[in-house]
Chain A
Amino acid sequence: MTLAILNISWQTLADALSLGGVYALMAVGIGLVFGVLRLVNFAYGQLVMAGAYALAYSSVWGWPTWAGILLCFGVVLALTLLMDRLVFRPLRTQSPAVMLVATFAVAFLLQSIAVLSFGQLGTIASSIAPLNRPWIIDGVAIRKIAIVSIAVAAVCLALLQLLLTRTSVGLHMRAAAMDFGTARILGVRANRVIGGAVLISGLLAAVVAVMLTVRNPQVTPTFGLDDTIIVLAGVVLGGLNRPIPATLGGFAIGFASGILGGALPTNQSQYLPTFLFAAVILVLLVRPNGLFTRSGGAVERA
């Protein structure tokens, strides 16, 4: 059964939706930190990579799946807090460009450490592979992970929305994202808000690590790198300075990437990045402030 016009199967559609969901979570992780710190975390993918290695090694050591997931969360959170303490905090007053280059350095640092300690070839996380098997629904095979990640993404985003709109921490975060200086004058505690945002982005990175590892159990030092680049493009595309447009941007690019991957003929599928980034550039030219934002509103703080 296919959507005949576009020649897209239900499997492709479900995959695209789930990739969109995963990318939306990454986008929130990147967008939240950007909101309070004006920092584009290029090293986000390496957090995911570290979590994926935790899963892979716990599987190699024969740990039960839940223990592996716990270890993944522990490793990613520890690394996130360490990164914040050692790099983000000293650089808080620098321009966005300097901070972006710094996270670029951190990304390569972590990646080379992974190459050095785990080797170039990668490790396989087999214990969570069962999630990758298909469910047969109404004659259509859909991978479990597709449905699980759509559900997980929806739950995470709903919780986050509640946190942002219904709690005082959330209110502080939104205020800080809008105008950090004024928010501080009005009594928002900077370290608490930044700490909260960094923590949430770390939690999301761990969730993303689990879901990406199920999709692709072969964990290599460059795991998550390509995804981060695509999500970064998506986040900028959606509009970096508000959580919702950033999330939509992440979802949109994940969905587009999934659909394109399924719709392109096999002999052209290696050109997927070309099509994707050409689309990104086109959209940026038309809507430099973001696809899902109202016009106006500077992307960067002066």
Chain B
Amino acid sequence: MELAGPVALVLATALLGLAVSTSLQTYFLDTLVKVSIVVALYVFIGNSGVLSFGHVSFVALGVWVSGVLTVPVGEKPAIMPGLAHFLLHAQVGNVPSLLLAAAAGLVFAFVVGLPLMRLSGLAAGIATFGVLEITNNVLRYYEKIGPGLNAFSSVPQTTGIWQAAIGALICVVLAFAYQRSRFGRMLRATREDPAAASAAGISIYRQRLVAFTLSGGLAGLAGGLYVHMLPIEVDSLSLDLTFITLAMLVVGGSGSLLGAVVGALAVSGLDSFLSAAENGVDVLGWHLDLPTGTALIVVGALMAIVLVLRPSGLSGGRELSLPRRRPRAAPPAAEAAG
């Protein structure tokens, strides 16, 4: 039952996206991809309570794998002149490229997590930040493996509403399945009380590594969806995206899957509207033309306000469930305990 809320929200967004004009549809596509990224973030941050600034590097890896493998072979030399030989002739289709993106994110997260999950608290935060900086730095300048500072142009734009919605749904369902599994429950136990969880025989390291790996895979998938949506530059997959996706998770409430989805939809909707308004829109007869940069200001302020007034987010860390089925104890109050 708790799965119904997030799934319904994603489907509603997709259906709404089908109903609007093509120019508006871009915003819905972007929103659905953001849902995937935020759900990926949630799988690790939400369940473990450990902050990660590094997930955008898994998204970037997904973008790179999926992008570099789907640019038509004929156009590769023009777009990526320095490309290494083995990549020059490799090409795969849409679905395989998405699967490869997910696999790349999964493997990278596992390899990175293997040492890093031993850290906790701020050391973990800074180390994941380091991973982000390194990934971004290498993808930006190493032109043997990609377009460097240029955009991934000529990637087939296969991420329509359905592909984006199915991708987001896959993320939501996997996140839910994980959260309900033994592993998810063990990790949530370590979040609430690390000492008690260890005493009960749970390896904090192993459980965090499982979540980190899974969320890396989902983030990779999201990256694959992203690059098939519009030609992006690797450079844009850095602090700004980290900030906006973290803002979504925090605003929605990092304690629940519903919170992740609600936050992604709410902030993304607001962000899309404001970005549109920066170019001038007509709303109910009013002409609105905001200066460039307003969107980030409003999102930043919103995030700060939510943190000050309601640290557990819009959802309050709860899943959606029907009132008659509530034999469980009240949801944990100390949601923010890191």
Measuring CB to CB, which residues of chain A are less than 8 angstroms from any residue of chain B? 40, 87, 90-91, 94-98, 100-102, 104-106, 108-109, 111-113, 115-116, 225, 229, 232-233, 236-237, 240, 270-271, 273-274, 277-278, 280-281, 284-285, 288-289, 299-300
A300 touches B127 (CB 8 A): no
Instruction: Please indicate which of the listed interface residues A40, A105, A288 has the most CB atoms of chain B within 10 Å of its own CB.
Output: A105
From B119, B131, B296, A112 is in contact (CB under 8 Å) with: B296
A residues near B297, Cβ cutoff 8 Å: 109, 112-113, 116
Give the complex CA separation of A270 and B137 in angstroms: 8
- The smallest C-beta distance from B184 to any residue of chain A, in angstroms, reads 20
Give the complex CA separation of A96 and B293 in angstroms: 29
A residues near B133, Cβ cutoff 8 Å: 229, 273-274, 277
A residues near B130, Cβ cutoff 8 Å: 233, 277-278, 280-281
B residues near A105, Cβ cutoff 8 Å: 243, 247, 300-301, 303-304, 307
Give the complex CA separation of A167 and B141 in angstroms: 51
Give the complex CA separation of A130 and B121 in angstroms: 43
Give the complex CA separation of A237 and B140 in angstroms: 26
10 shortest interchain CB distances as A-B pairs: A109-B300, A277-B130, A112-B296, A105-B303, A97-B338, A116-B293, A95-B338, A115-B293, A112-B297, A236-B126
Name the interface residues of B194-211: CB closer than 8 Å to any CB of A. Answer: none
Give the complex CA separation of A300 and B299 in angstroms: 29
Interface: B122 (CB within 8 A) = yes
> Which of chain A's residues has its CB closest to B136's CB?
A273
B residues near A229, Cβ cutoff 8 Å: 129, 133
Interface size for B (C-beta < 8 A) is: 46
> Which of chain A's residues has its CB closest to B301's CB?
A109
B residues near A90, Cβ cutoff 8 Å: 308
B304 touches A280 (CB 8 A): no
From B118, B120, B137, A285 is in contact (CB under 8 Å) with: B118
Given contacts A96-B338, A102-B308, A109-B300, contact A274 B129 (CB under 8 A): no
Interface: B116 (CB within 8 A) = yes
Give the complex CA separation of A106 and B307 in angstroms: 11
B115 touches A87 (CB 8 A): no
Interface: B216 (CB within 8 A) = no
- The smallest C-beta distance from B248 to any residue of chain A, in angstroms, reads 12
B residues near A299, Cβ cutoff 8 Å: 121-123
- The smallest C-beta distance from B116 to any residue of chain A, in angstroms, reads 7
B129 touches A270 (CB 8 A): no
Given contacts A98-B336, A102-B307, A274-B134, contact A280 B300 (CB under 8 A): no
Give the complex CA separation of A102 and B300 in angstroms: 9
From B131, B240, B293, B311, A94 is in contact (CB under 8 Å) with: B311
A281 touches B121 (CB 8 A): no
Give the complex CA separation of A302 and B120 in angstroms: 12
A94 touches B300 (CB 8 A): no
B131 touches A108 (CB 8 A): no
